[in-house]
Amino acid sequence: MGHGKLRKFAENETFACLVQPAAEEVLSGRGREFALKDHPLKGHWNEKMFDAPRPIVLELGCGRGEYTIDLARRNPDYNYIGVDIKGARLWRGAKEATLSKMGNVAFLRTRIEFIPAFFAPSEVAEIWLTFSDPQLHHENSRLSSPLFLKRYREFLAPGGLIHLKTDSMFLHQYTLALCRENSFSILARSEDLYSEDMAEPHRRSSPLRGSPPFSGANAGLCGQPYPPQAEARETRRARLGGAEALSDAQVDAIFEVHTYYETMFSRQGYRITYLCFCIGTSDDILSPSSFDADYWRSVEGPRHSVALPDL
Ligand SMILES: C[S@@+](CC[C@H](N)C(=O)[O-])C[C@H]1O[C@@H](n2cnc3c(N)ncnc32)[C@H](O)[C@@H]1O
């Protein structure tokens, strides 16, 4: 392991906003037989981790926590928790929250599979899934699969929103089909958030916005500068299909916050998609029977994994 990572791990131990539970704190049992047990923070995040009680929003698979930090700055009336398993990525968000003395931000280092151990029923108001790995061949590892949605439902308040922002057309279409299969309310959606052509964004099937995908380090979006230009809020709402259920602040955040992975894939020419939905209360959540996984895998094509410089 490099010195940079070791230094970050050591500094992580000093951040009051970062919770890093040991496996024994959330698992009981031995070997392959284990069960989740409640973490002491379950049901107590507001009193123990933040400077005031407020509705709680999670960012799952937050990486460096761009949404967690930015949303917390924009919305001081909410508390935010970024969750990821990678300590070196969480370091960046936790460092920023610490330096800026943010009282409405926390980070949790854990596997999202264990998330029900950390939150009590109705403790969470909203969930963001930001550029999650599409898990093309492993539905049960997909963060918007029935398995994960059932976990989230254990602690999401009734009517709580799930926001999915992704560069993966496969993941977008899969989650959309799942919402339709289960009659979940879809509150906002775009297959191409930053499209130049407002009239036709839903007709194209390729996830790439023109070819070739690479046209220089700072290019993307069909040669448009990245990040994209600000637009009037009505234009943004039109791109989302109206999005009447979302506040102005929520709409602005969808367009204005750009994560590390969003920046990387946008510069490669991939379209950025967004879906906001509300899970229902029926007992079961079904996999989407109409989803053509082979087709959407072929549309997705190979990805170019070119990391951005670690600024
Ligand atoms: C593609 S990255 C996106 C990071 C960030 N949201 C962004 O947009 O830049 C996916 C992140 O999810 C995390 N992740 C994936 N599966 C996870 C799991 N089961 N539990 C915890 N973290 C997970 C990874 O560690 C990684 O940081």
Confidence at residue 226, expressed as pLDDT on a 0 to 100 scale: 60
Residue in 164, 127, 183, 167 with CA at minimum distance from that of residue 304? 167
Verify that 248 and 168 share a domain, yes or no. yes
Higher per-residue pLDDT: 205 or 135: 135
Verify that 147 and 284 share a domain, yes or no. yes
Higher per-residue pLDDT: 307 or 34: 34
Verify that 283 and 154 share a domain, yes or no. yes
Closest residue CA from atom 13 of ligand 1? 61
Verify that 301 and 162 share a domain, yes or no. yes
Confidence at residue 306, expressed as pLDDT on a 0 to 100 scale: 58
- Going from the Cα of 260 to the center of ligand 1, the distance in angstroms, rounded, reads 11
Confidence at residue 52, expressed as pLDDT on a 0 to 100 scale: 98
- Going from the Cα of 212 to the center of ligand 1, the distance in angstroms, rounded, reads 27
Task: Tell me: pLDDT of 252 over 90.
Answer: yes
Output the CA–CA distances (angstroms, integers) from residue 175 to 104, 127, 168, 211, in the order listed: 30, 14, 11, 26
Query: What's the rounded Cα separation, in Å, for the pair 105 and 216?
Result: 36
Task: Tell me: pLDDT of 160 over 50.
Answer: yes
* C-beta separation of 308 from 263 below 8 A: yes
Higher per-residue pLDDT: 26 or 282: 26
Confidence at residue 283, expressed as pLDDT on a 0 to 100 scale: 77
What ligand 1 atom has the least distance to the C-alpha of 133?
1
pLDDT interval class at 280 (50, 70, 90): confident
Domain count, the chain: 2
Low-confidence winner among 94-98, 172-176, 212-216, 234-238 (lowest mean pLDDT): 212-216
Tell me which of 67, 90, 120 is where a domain ends. 120
- Going from the Cα of 48 to the center of ligand 1, the distance in angstroms, rounded, reads 25
Asked, for residue 76, whether it belongs to a domain, the answer is: yes
pLDDT interval class at 218 (50, 70, 90): very low
Task: Tell me: pLDDT of 57 over 80.
Answer: yes
Strands 56-60 and 79-84: parallel
Stated pTM of the model: 0.91
Query: Of 70, 77, 133, 192, which one is the catalytic site residue?
Result: 133
In the structure, which protein residues have their CB atom closer than 6 angstroms to any atom of ligand 1?
Answer: 61-63, 84-86, 89, 111-113, 130-133, 259-262
Q: Mean pLDDT throughout 122-132? A: 98
Tell me which of 88, 120, 152 is where a domain ends. 120
Pocket test for ligand 1, best of 62, 110, 163, 270 (most atoms within 8 A of CB): 62
Confidence at residue 2, expressed as pLDDT on a 0 to 100 scale: 84
- Going from the Cα of 261 to the center of ligand 1, the distance in angstroms, rounded, reads 10
Confidence at residue 206, expressed as pLDDT on a 0 to 100 scale: 64
Task: Tell me: pLDDT of 127 over 80.
Answer: yes
Verify that 273 and 144 share a domain, yes or no. yes
Closest residue CA from atom 11 of ligand 1? 61
Query: What's the rounded Cα separation, in Å, for the pair 221 and 196?
Result: 9
Tell me which residue range forms the domain holding 15: 1-120
Pocket test for ligand 1, best of 112, 113, 170, 304 (most atoms within 8 A of CB): 112
pLDDT interval class at 302 (50, 70, 90): confident
Verify that 39 and 110 share a domain, yes or no. yes
Strands 124-130 and 27-30: unpaired
Tell me which of 120, 144, 169 is where a domain ends. 120
Degrees to nearest 5, angle at CA 270 with 269 and 275 = 145
Q: What is the CATH number of the domain that holds 153?
A: 3.40.50
What ligand 1 atom has the least distance to the C-alpha of 113?
19
Task: Tell me: pLDDT of 140 over 70.
Answer: yes
Confidence at residue 304, expressed as pLDDT on a 0 to 100 scale: 59
Residue 292 is among the residues annotated as catalytic for this protein: no
Confidence at residue 214, expressed as pLDDT on a 0 to 100 scale: 34
Confidence at residue 293, expressed as pLDDT on a 0 to 100 scale: 96
Asked, for residue 228, whether it belongs to a domain, the answer is: yes
What ligand 1 atom has the least distance to the C-alpha of 260?
9
Low-confidence winner among 144-158, 184-198, 260-274, 293-307 (lowest mean pLDDT): 293-307
Alpha helices, DSSP H, located in the chain? 3-12, 45-49, 66-74, 87-99, 146-153, 169-181, 233-239, 248-256, 260-267, 293-300
Count of residues making up the chain: 311
- Going from the Cα of 305 to the center of ligand 1, the distance in angstroms, rounded, reads 15
What ligand 1 atom has the least distance to the C-alpha of 86?
25
pLDDT interval class at 187 (50, 70, 90): very high
* DSSP codes of every residue in 104-157: TEEEEES-GGGGGGT--TT-EEEEEEES----TT-GGGSTTSHHHHHHHHTTEE
Verify that 116 and 155 share a domain, yes or no. no
Asked, for residue 126, whether it belongs to a domain, the answer is: no
Output the CA–CA distances (angstroms, integers) from residue 64 to 83, 138, 258, 262, in the order listed: 10, 24, 11, 12
- Render pLDDT for 85-122 as a digit per residue (tens, 0 to 9): 999 999 999 999 999 999 999 999 999 999 999 999 99
Residue in 266, 246, 250 with CA at minimum distance from that of residue 258? 266
Verify that 56 and 147 share a domain, yes or no. no
Verify that 13 and 159 share a domain, yes or no. no
Closest residue CA from atom 3 of ligand 1? 131
Beta bridge partners of 165: 130, 274
